[in-house]
């Protein structure tokens, strides 16, 4: 069974950054599958925005010609596609000095029937939300989060560390991509993807409060961005949101 639903995506420069290096998109295909992607570019002006756009455009383009298949093949397809995007960004950065050191985070969710296939490189996040609450599906691939998971620092030190933005993984940094990819059961929950510009400025209770309203999906995305900017707007914000209804 596939799900029908409503979706929206949006990015915003925030109140501090000069450029917007985030990309966000949601798209469906002929098989009734849903693809959500958020990329947060890095490397400064003319670098991060280019890297994030390269990654998102390539993944979305490949999705349009993706063949129908079982979940394990779709998982392989998503891993392969993101690795190909990584190679494109890396080769471009190596061949053109203007793009040296560019890269991008990437979180992608493929909704296929009763499954969520979640891929992550970097510190952009994927969540599900329903009446039981907000559940994070990804782990931040940062130096500080590694220290926390390995028991070397406490949670309060992780959340306040000045080094919490140091990434241990992203697309375009190495010749081959290292990414987390997992399959989760799906029962029609709301799915939220976002860059760190959202969760560093808007608390999880505030996110839940917005998602619990009866507003349209696009208005919820705009409300989350407004909250992030009202709380400082310290970074670009990229959001992709999907709300499902059963296709009975």
Q: Would you list the DSSP string of 164-232?
A: TT-BS--BTSSSS---EEEEEE-SS-EEEEE-HHHHTTS-HHHHHHHHTS-S-HHHHHHHHHHHHHHTT
Domain 3-236 homologous superfamily, CATH: PPM-type phosphatase domain (3.60.40.10)
Distance of alpha carbon 47 from alpha carbon 134, whole angstroms: 33
Contact 171, 82 (CB under 8 A): yes
Amino acid 168: pLDDT: 86
Give the C-alpha separation, 191 to 96, whole Å.
Answer: 37
| Mean pLDDT, 10 residues at a time, the chain of 248 residues | 94 96 97 97 85 98 96 98 98 93 96 97 97 96 78 73 79 92 98 97 97 97 98 97 78
pTM of the model: 0.94
Torsion sign across C-alpha atoms 15, 171, 167, 155: positive
Instruction: List the chain domain ranges.
Output: 3-236
Cα–Cα nearest to 3, from 245, 185, 242, 193: 245
Angle between helices 71-95 and 48-64 (to 10 degrees): 140
Q: What's residue 33's pLDDT? A: 97
* Residue 67 per-residue DSSP state: P
User: Which pLDDT score is estimated for 246?
Assistant: 57
């Amino acid at each position: 069974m596939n799900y029908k639903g409503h979706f929206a995506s949006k990015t915003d420069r925030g109140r501090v950054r000069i450029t917007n290096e985030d990309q966000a998109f949601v798209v469906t295909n002929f098989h009734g599958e849903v693809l959500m992607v958020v990329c947060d570019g890095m490397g400064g002006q003319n670098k991060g925005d280019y890297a994030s756009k390269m990654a998102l455009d390539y993944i979305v383009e490949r999705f349009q010609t993706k063949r129908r298949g079982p979940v394990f093949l779709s998982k392989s397809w998503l891993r392969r596609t993101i690795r190909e995007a990584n190679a494109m960004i890396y080769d471009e950065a190596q061949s053109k000095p203007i793009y040296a050191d560019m890269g991008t985070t990437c979180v992608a969710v493929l909704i296929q029937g009763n499954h969520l296939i979640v891929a992550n490189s970097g510190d952009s996040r994927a969540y599900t939300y329903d009446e039981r609450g907000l559940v994070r599906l990804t782990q931040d691939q940062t130096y500080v989060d590694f220290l926390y998971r390995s028991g070397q620092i406490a949670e309060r030190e992780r959340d306040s560390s000045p080094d919490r933005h140091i990434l241990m993984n992203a697309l375009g940094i190495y010749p081959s991509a290292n990414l987390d990819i997992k399959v989760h059961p799906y029962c029609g929950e709301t799915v939220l993807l976002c860059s760190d510009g959202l969760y560093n400025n808007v608390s999880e209770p505030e996110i839940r409060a917005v998602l619990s309203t009866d507003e349209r999906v696009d208005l919820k995305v705009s409300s989350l961005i407004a909250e992030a900017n009202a709380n400082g707007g310290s970074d670009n914000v990229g959001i992709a949101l999907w709300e499902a209804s059963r296709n009975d």
